[in-house]
Amino acid sequence: AQTVTQSQPEMSVQEAETVTLSCTYDTSESNYYLFWYKQPPSRQMILVIRQEAYKQQNATENRFSVNFQKAAKSFSLKISDSQLGDTAMYFCAFMTWYNNNDMRFGAGTRLTVKP
Amino acid sequence: EAQVTQNPRYLITVTGKKLTVTCSQNMNHEYMSWYRQDPGLGLRQIYYSMNVEVTDKGDVPEGYKVSRKEKRNFPLILESPSPNQTSLYFCASSLGVQTGELFFGEGSRLTVL
């Protein structure tokens, strides 16, 4: 079974600085997707970034980028130029290639951006 | 607008009083699923459905029932709610093929007293 581990329950960062959230996962699959979701106080699950395991290039979305290390089974999220609106719970998630119905989540990291 | 709609968004109930959380999607997705979110545990899958009349247990199915009579609807039923089912619930849907996309509803906060 696939598992996802986020070892940082809480983190904080000063506005405009850079922060990195860690995520490791365990799987025997070779094809899969990895995700970072943001959950603000509104509770909505917002997709931040997605990575296909077969792609070597790290995904980027504006101020958000990932460091995907397939051999190490590591998938960290870097937030550059942190903004107050980035304050939220962040979940790392894993989905197998063949079953888009079963997403596995980490426990989450609560990020606070301080002014 | 493509969306997954859950109702109610908030509910306080008492132990043993049957309740249903509805979920509807307008994207013609085949796959639908229910998750519960608890502090320190992330989201865990309760039940999923790969098509009409096809449902299966996820990781934490105890105390829940589901049905999939129509493609767009996937209600979650708590026949006899207990306090340990107090949680935040999410419905989600996907095309069911290799798109790597899962669409979430806005969540339903359930409190069982």
pLDDT at residue A103, rounded to an integer: 87
pLDDT at residue B96, rounded to an integer: 72
Q: pLDDT, tens digit, for every residue of A41-57?
A: 989 999 999 999 999 89
Contact A8, A21 (CB under 8 A): yes
Q: Is A101 on the interface with B (CB under 8 A)?
A: yes
CA-CA distance, A10 to A22, in Å (whole number)? 11
SS (H, E, C) A40-75: CCCCCCEEEEEEECCCCCCCEECCEEEEEECCCCEE
Contact A60, A48 (CB under 8 A): no
Q: In chain A, what residues touch B31 (CB-CB under 8 Å)? A: 100-101
CA-CA distance, B89 to B97, in Å (whole number)? 24
pLDDT at residue A101 tops 80: no
Q: In chain B, what residues touch A7 (CB-CB under 8 Å)? A: none
CA-CA distance, B100 to A98, in Å (whole number)? 9
Question: Nearest Cα to B28, choosing from B54, B53, B51?
Answer: B51
Question: Nearest Cα to A105, choosing from B58, B19, B27?
Answer: B58
Arithmetic mean of pLDDT over chain A:
94
Please compute the mean of the pLDDT values over residues A7-16 and round it to a whole number. 97
pLDDT at residue A100 tops 70: no
Are A52 and B100 a contacting pair at CB < 8 A?
A: yes
Q: In chain B, what residues touch A33 (CB-CB under 8 Å)? A: 100
Q: Is A29 on the interface with B (CB under 8 A)?
A: no
* A100, A103, A110, best to mutate vs chain B, most B CBs in 10 Å: A100
pLDDT at residue B97, rounded to an integer: 66
pLDDT at residue B1, rounded to an integer: 84
Q: Is A100 on the interface with B (CB under 8 A)?
A: yes
pLDDT band at A15 (very low <50, low <70, confident <90, very high): very high
Are B96 and A107 a contacting pair at CB < 8 A?
A: no
CA-CA distance, A67 to B36, in Å (whole number)? 28
CA-CA distance, B9 to B22, in Å (whole number)? 10
- Whether omega before B8 lies within 30 degrees of 0, making that bond cis, reads yes
Contact B103, B94 (CB under 8 A): yes
Are A106 and B109 a contacting pair at CB < 8 A?
A: no
Q: How many CB pairs under 8 A join A and B?
A: 60
Q: pLDDT, tens digit, for every residue of B8-59?
A: 999 999 999 999 999 999 999 999 999 999 999 999 999 999 899 999 999 9
CA-CA distance, B112 to B17, in Å (whole number)? 9
Q: Which residue has the higher pLDDT, B102 or A17?
A: A17
